[in-house]
Chains A and B, each alone.
Chain A
Amino acid sequence: MTRTAFVNARLLDPASGYDQTGSLLVEDGRIVDLGPELFKDGIPEGVETVECGGKVLCPGLVDMRVFTGEPGAEHRETLALTSQAAAAGGVTTVIVMPNTDPVIDDVALVDFMERRARDTAIVNVHPMAALTKGLKGQEMTEIGLLKEAGAVAFTDGDKAVANAQVVRRAMSYAKLFDALLVQHAEEPSLASGVMHEGELSSRWGLTGIPAAAETIMIERDLRLMELTGGRLHIAQISCEASVEIIRAAKNRGLPVTCGVSAAHLQLNQLDIQGYRTFFKLSPPLRSEQDRQALVAGLADGTIDVIVSGHDPQDADVKRRPFEEANFGAIGLETLLAAGLALVHSGDVPLARLLDTMTHVPADLLDLGTGRLAAGLPADLILIDTDMPWQLKPEALKSVSKNTPFEDRRFQGRVLRTIVGGRMVFVHGEED
């Protein structure tokens, strides 16, 4: 029996609002007790002790939008490396997208991912399965069997399912298994561009993607939800209008949820200036007004989760003219720090920020984690919310260095990451 005591920690459980200085005991990978009274009479023999110095000890982060290179593009990133990046970023559960080669659209592939994760990953990894076979947007996958095998949700990843009839039927059928559908909301016929459509795209001679490409798809899918009674999660929204649409839909009582990437909360289209392909994201970075609306939507609860949208792309596909470069940026190691910037700027309280990265995504995906409570797996992180640091690409775990936060100064850093009671990352001890 291994026992670890985390003492003198600011215990923060966003789900319950609990926020007290105290200790937490982990036994055989699970939280067994916590509180200010614990160890009042001293720590028993044989318990490993971690002095937390009053720093925040909270549930580990759940990142529900991560693209990995395995299988098929291991040169971009293996599952092992994805998990190491996650650990360094305080992410204890990574949800990988089915956009691999081969596509995760079959029970055997879900099994493969689970096996690879068990053998090589140092954090929890769960796959979302494809919603349509081969991500082709035509025929739905075996939603029931895939869910039984361990798929936590169904999505075509960075591809929108454009055919309304396909979405309608999948939404309706998914109710059988209470399976969550995740849509990349972007009407493909309007989204042939490479950046936000507006004055800047015109000045730079780049084809634009209008905000309407996103809002049209969201509004269509909301109608399909009303038609079918199904539920839906919009993977990432990027503009003010989408925030308003989702807010109104929630007010109507529709079971819609949505996410936003940490990059979209911190950056806008101006960062592209000079044709910098590390800022080529899907959905695109939009205007400052849009960014501010996303921050407001996060603060008021319209936006449910923050994701990294982690998408490793190597130099071969990024060091190209903007139009030819691939979309995507890595983000696992900057997810928390980019989020904390909103806490330091006074836009979002710490507990609200942590909501969106812990129990809310965990509940959406029915993971049974994301809380500080006795009996739950000890997926924890210890955070210094103020520690200043600067992002150096060479210090990143990922082989692909496509971060939009190069040289960025952050405030707040993960000190320790614990997955199932195992210390998988300790700041300052990495190689």
Chain B
Amino acid sequence: MSSPETSPAPIFPHRHLIGIEGLSPQDITALLDLADTYVEQNRRIDKKGAVLRGRTQINLFFEASTRTQSSFELAGKRLGADVMNMSVGTSSVKKGETLIDTAVTLNAMHPDMIVVRHQNSGAVELLSQKVSCSVVNAGDGAHEHPTQALLDALTIRRRKGKLQGLRVAICGDILHSRVARSNILLLHTMGARVRVIGPPTLMPTGIERFGVEIFHDMKKGLEDCDIVMMLRLQLERMAGSYVPSQREYFRYYGLDYDKLAAAKPDALVMHPGPMNRGVEIDSAVADDIHRSLIREQVEMGVAVRMAVLDALARNLPNDPSIAETAK
């Protein structure tokens, strides 16, 4: 595997990363391979690279997120980019500026990358049409969260050695989850078999046409699974609107050792965070170092985001002098 510094050749034939939809298995594999090299780099004492030296990255977060935003910030900085964080609280969006005006304003500052999270599905795509730099979707509404799916795939691939043929269960609030959508698309593209598990009220209409198997009984759904992906369920959705109560939800869909026993003995547990302990996942399972990949997912997150930023930057117009220094 070649390191990115010596191989700046384009590997990813897209200008933006808006979603997993539209990516080929080759695109995904290329990003995961590159991310593997960054895992190694991130474990060194000197973690700093220079492939994004001179580049400006703006993290534009319309929705609060500690984890994803800091992961992108760290990823950009470790690649040598200048990273600016903009969150809704301090931006003019609160003063009524439209998304497109914000995009045009930021674009005038000549960023090379904009990382966007927005509460509305499709907002990141809309923004990408109005700027001249690369755009990375850090989550848009209930649509997609592609870097989460990529980091999940990297985590699984490093532990199981492959994605093809694995049986993966995605459990919980599928309806509102962009993580579920991106993961279903990615795992499906890479040849894994995907099951979704949850109450009917938290299943999207037409989910059976996503190429997944649907289960409402968690134990049955977990049978023969290699990977158990839990999703966060927002607490306000558990007050009678989608499910009657937290305790009833935990009883039927909370992951504890009893339910996990239905999966393969070596099945591993994942969660995109932040977790509601005792609601969708039992603390003991979440913290079990033999079964839980939750902390590893966070580590892979930085590496995957470095790979995405690097891959997209390779397609940007380049200043030869910068490329030279980067070497």
Q: What residues of chain B lie closer than 8 Å to A202, measured between beta carbons?
A: 204-207, 210
B100 contacts A322, C-beta separation under 8 Å: no
Task: Count A-side interface residues using an 8 Å CB cutoff.
Answer: 22
Question: Which of A197, A203, A274, A324 has the most C-beta atoms of chain B within 10 angstroms of its own C-beta?
Answer: A203
B206 contacts A322, C-beta separation under 8 Å: no
B226 interfacial by beta-carbon distance below 8 Å: no
A45 interfacial by beta-carbon distance below 8 Å: no
Contact with A along B116-145 (1 / 0, CB 8 A): 001011110110000000000000111110
A208 interfacial by beta-carbon distance below 8 Å: yes
A316 interfacial by beta-carbon distance below 8 Å: yes
Q: What residues of chain A lie closer than 8 Å to B140, measured between beta carbons?
A: 205
Q: What residues of chain A lie closer than 8 Å to B141, measured between beta carbons?
A: 205-206, 321, 323
Q: What residues of chain B lie closer than 8 Å to A200, measured between beta carbons?
A: 206
Q: What residues of chain A lie closer than 8 Å to B144, measured between beta carbons?
A: 205
A210 CA to B99 CA in the complex, in Å? Answer: 29
Chain B nearest CB: distance from A321 CB in Å?
3
A275 interfacial by beta-carbon distance below 8 Å: yes
A429 interfacial by beta-carbon distance below 8 Å: no
A205 CA to B125 CA in the complex, in Å? Answer: 13
Q: What residues of chain A lie closer than 8 Å to B122, measured between beta carbons?
A: 204-206, 274-275, 321-323
Contact with A along B17-51 (1 / 0, CB 8 A): 00001000000000000000000000000000000
Q: Using a CB-CB cutoff of 8 Å, which residues 144-163 of chain B contact chain A? A: 144
B94 interfacial by beta-carbon distance below 8 Å: no
Q: Using a CB-CB cutoff of 8 Å, which residues 182-223 of chain A contact chain B? A: 197-208, 210
Q: What residues of chain B lie closer than 8 Å to A409, measured between beta carbons?
A: none
A100 CA to B294 CA in the complex, in Å? Answer: 54
B178 interfacial by beta-carbon distance below 8 Å: yes
A250 interfacial by beta-carbon distance below 8 Å: no
A275 contacts B125, C-beta separation under 8 Å: yes
Q: What residues of chain A lie closer than 8 Å to B204, measured between beta carbons?
A: 201-202
Out of B99, B125, B142, name the residue touching A274 (CB < 8 Å): B125
A169 interfacial by beta-carbon distance below 8 Å: no
A321 contacts B209, C-beta separation under 8 Å: no
A199 CA to B212 CA in the complex, in Å? Answer: 13
Residue of B nearest to A196 (CB): B205
A221 CA to B21 CA in the complex, in Å? Answer: 42
B78 interfacial by beta-carbon distance below 8 Å: no
Known A203-B181, A274-B125; contact A321-B205, beta-carbon cutoff 8 A: no
Contact with A along B149-184 (1 / 0, CB 8 A): 000000000000000000000000000001001000
B98 interfacial by beta-carbon distance below 8 Å: yes
A208 CA to B121 CA in the complex, in Å? Answer: 13
Contact with A along B254-294 (1 / 0, CB 8 A): 00000000000000000000000000000000000000000
A197 CA to B126 CA in the complex, in Å? Answer: 22
Known A198-B206, A321-B122, A324-B120; contact A205-B181, beta-carbon cutoff 8 A: yes
Out of B98, B121, B142, B178, name the residue touching A319 (CB < 8 Å): B98
Known A319-B98, A321-B122; contact A205-B142, beta-carbon cutoff 8 A: yes
Residue of A nearest to B209 (CB): A199
Chain A nearest CB: distance from B20 CB in Å?
12
A323 CA to B210 CA in the complex, in Å? Answer: 23
Out of A201, A274, A316, A320, name the residue touching B205 (CB < 8 Å): A201
Q: Using a CB-CB cutoff of 8 Å, which residues 292-330 of chain A contact chain B? A: 316, 319-324
Task: Count B-side interface residues using an 8 Å CB cutoff.
Answer: 24
Residue of A nearest to B122 (CB): A275
A185 CA to B276 CA in the complex, in Å? Answer: 40
Q: What residues of chain A lie closer than 8 Å to B100, measured between beta carbons?
A: 319-320
Residue of B nearest to A272 (CB): B122
A205 CA to B21 CA in the complex, in Å? Answer: 13
B99 contacts A321, C-beta separation under 8 Å: yes
Q: What residues of chain B lie closer than 8 Å to A274, measured between beta carbons?
A: 122, 125
Residue of B nearest to A202 (CB): B204
Contact with B along A378-403 (1 / 0, CB 8 A): 00000000000000000000000000
A201 CA to B175 CA in the complex, in Å? Answer: 11
Question: Which of B21, B118, B126, B140 has the most C-beta atoms of chain A within 10 angstroms of its own C-beta?
Answer: B126
A320 CA to B62 CA in the complex, in Å? Answer: 14
Chain B nearest CB: distance from A234 CB in Å?
24
Question: Which of A201, A202, A207, A323 has the most C-beta atoms of chain B within 10 angstroms of its own C-beta?
Answer: A202
A321 CA to B142 CA in the complex, in Å? Answer: 13
Question: Which of B100, B125, B204, B209 has the most C-beta atoms of chain A within 10 angstroms of its own C-beta?
Answer: B204
Chain B nearest CB: distance from A205 CB in Å?
3
Known A319-B98, A321-B120, A324-B120; contact A199-B125, beta-carbon cutoff 8 A: no
A202 CA to B120 CA in the complex, in Å? Answer: 14
Out of B121, B178, B181, B205, name the residue touching A323 (CB < 8 Å): B121
A201 CA to B122 CA in the complex, in Å? Answer: 12
Q: What residues of chain A lie closer than 8 Å to B210, measured between beta carbons?
A: 199, 202-203
Contact with A along B189-216 (1 / 0, CB 8 A): 0000000000000001111011000000
A275 contacts B206, C-beta separation under 8 Å: no
A207 CA to B176 CA in the complex, in Å? Answer: 9
Question: Which of B21, B121, B204, B209 has the most C-beta atoms of chain A within 10 angstroms of its own C-beta?
Answer: B121
Known A198-B205, A202-B207; contact A275-B121, beta-carbon cutoff 8 A: yes
Chain A nearest CB: distance from B268 CB in Å?
27
Q: What residues of chain A lie closer than 8 Å to B99, measured between beta carbons?
A: 320-321
Chain A nearest CB: distance from B159 CB in Å?
29
Q: What residues of chain B lie closer than 8 Å to A324, measured between beta carbons?
A: 120
A204 CA to B18 CA in the complex, in Å? Answer: 12
**9 contacts across the A-B interface (CB closer than 8 A):** A199-B206, A201-B205, A204-B121, A205-B121, A205-B142, A206-B143, A275-B122, A320-B98, A321-B122
Give the top 8 A-B pairs by smallest Cβ distance, nearest first: A199-B206, A205-B143, A275-B122, A321-B120, A202-B204, A205-B121, A205-B142, A321-B123
Give A contacts to B, CB under 8 Å. 197-208, 210, 274-275, 316, 319-324
Given contacts A204-B143, A206-B122, A321-B120, 8 further A-B pairs with CB under 8 A are A201-B205, A202-B210, A203-B206, A206-B141, A210-B205, A320-B100, A321-B121, A321-B141
